[in-house]
Chain A
């Protein structure tokens, strides 16, 4: 049982480049989330998908787009990367309201 799988684990981009972070879960969860983690800032929600076919903005959505491809997969896209987007990105999933989150092991992104 893999849980939540994120790819890639590491990525270096130049300012202005684009990329997509991939996330898949095998727990048949309804809800999926993207967080970023920066030193001293904790976990901040970028976007989430309460159920297949829906997406909503979180605290810090600017500069990002998401796609809930199907129930298993939720991708995060940076169209034009900026140094301020250097961070560790975590994908998570849950059954839904007031349920525990299950996190992947993160993607460490550096934008130069």
Chain B
């Protein structure tokens, strides 16, 4: 089955700087790549997703890039703010598959 790995496991950034989290996946048939943000005591919440027919997608300060050849995708957060501190999960799935494979998560800490 699909195997998704996230790097680094913990990331500390100064407020206002950018944060980048990278995920790699193993199944070349995967074509849907969502990112989730989990705040303390809450369930994960979708923040952005990308499908394999595009290479980049942006939503305000958040962007996701996809490199299908190298089988990796990255989350970019610009102008980080304290409220961006959370655990971020990447995931991947294939067409016709109801099951998302999740990475183990990245703890992002924004230092004021």
Contact = CB atoms under 8 A, between A and B. Distances in A.
Contact of A43 (B41, B51, B94, B102): B102
18 contacts: A42-B103, A42-B105, A43-B44, A43-B89, A45-B100, A58-B99, A97-B93, A97-B95, A97-B97, A98-B31, A98-B94, A100-B34, A101-B34, A101-B44, A103-B36, A103-B45, A106-B42, A106-B43
Contacts of A106: 41-43
B102 A97 contact: no
A87 to B, nearest CB: 14
Nearest to B33: A98
Given A90-B43, A103-B44, 17 more contacts: A4-B43, A42-B104, A45-B100, A92-B43, A97-B93, A97-B96, A98-B51, A98-B93, A98-B95, A100-B46, A101-B34, A101-B36, A103-B36, A103-B43, A105-B41, A106-B41, A106-B42
B34 to A, nearest CB: 6
A8 interface: no
Interface of B: 31-32, 34, 36, 41-46, 49, 51, 89, 93-100, 102-105
Interface of A: 4, 31, 40-45, 48, 50, 58, 90, 92, 94, 96-98, 100-106
A92 to B, nearest CB: 8
Nearest to A96: B98
Contact of B32 (A41, A45, A90, A98): A98
A98 B97 contact: yes
A96 B100 CA distance: 11
A96 B99 CA distance: 9
Given A43-B44, A43-B89, A98-B32, A50 B102 contact: no
A104 B34 contact: no
A97 B98 contact: yes
B112 to A, nearest CB: 26
Contact of B104 (A4, A41, A96): A41
B106 to A, nearest CB: 10
Contacts of B42: 105-106
